[in-house]
Amino acid sequence: MFMLYAVAIGIVGGFLAGGRLDRLAGLRFHWAGLALLGLLVQVALFSPPAVDAVGDAGPPIYIASTLAVFAVVLRNRSVPGLPVVALGAASNLVAIVANGGWMPATPGALASVGQQLGPGYSNSREFAAAALAPLTDVFALPGWVPFANVFSIGDVLIGIGVAITVAVAMRTVRPSAELPGAQRTTLPAHTSPE
C-alpha cells in the first residue's frame, strides 16, 4: 500500500508542474507482463489461503518473484525515475536474500502499526539479529494513516522513483505522429521551373 501514496504524490507533483493525467497513458514499459506476474505472485503468496499451502516454498517463491520485477525495472531503466526504483528494489532484494527469503521487520516498527506476525509465511519476519539490518523494515507509517505498514529504505527509494516516473510522464508530450488520429503532413518538394 506504500506505493499508493507514491503514485498519489507523483500525480499531485505532475499537476503542480503543469502536467495532465491523460499523458500517463503514453507511459510504456518493456516486459510489463513479467512485472505484473511477479506482483500477482506476491499478492497471492501473502494472502491467507496461500500462507499454509506454500510452506517452505514461500522464501524461494518470494525471491523469484522479486527478481522478476527487478529484471523489468532494469530493462526499463531509461524511463525517468526508474533508476531510483532500481536502487530501492536492489536494496530490498539484497536484504531479502541475506535473510533467507524474508524481509525482517523490527518489533518496534510492527508495534507502531499494530501488527503481529502469524506463524505462516509472510514477507516480513521478526529476527533477533537480522542481516543487513539497516536495509530491512525498520520504519513504520503512523498507525492513524490508512494502510499503515512497516517499510524499508528500499521502499522509500522505490516510492520516490515511482513518484518521479508519474510526475515526469504527466509532463511528457508525445510527438504528434504518435497521437491517436494524428496525420503526418508532407510538404510538396520544391520543383524548379523548366
The model's pLDDT over 63-119, given as tens digits with 9 standing for 90+, comes to: 999 999 999 999 999 999 999 999 999 999 999 999 999 899 888 888 887 776 655
Q: Is residue 123 part of a domain?
A: yes
Q: Is residue 24 part of a domain?
A: no
Domain assignment present for residue 26? The answer is no
Residue 50 reports pLDDT greater than 90? no
> Is 184 a domain residue?
no
State the total domains in the chain.
1
| Cβ contact 76:82 at 8 Å | yes
**Residue 36 included in any domain:** yes
Closest CA to 48 of 110, 120, 126: 120
**Amino acid 143: pLDDT:** 80
- The model carries a pTM of 0.84
CA distance 57 to 49: 14
Q: 183 lies in a domain?
A: no
Q: How far apart are CA 105 and CA 113, in angstroms?
A: 12
- Supply the range of the domain harboring residue 60: 2-17+32-48+56-173
Phi and psi based region of residue 94 (left: phi greater than 0; alpha: psi -120 to 50; beta: remaining)? alpha
Query: What pLDDT does residue 108 have?
Result: 85
Helix (H), strand (E), coil (C) string for 105-116: ECHHHHHHCCCC
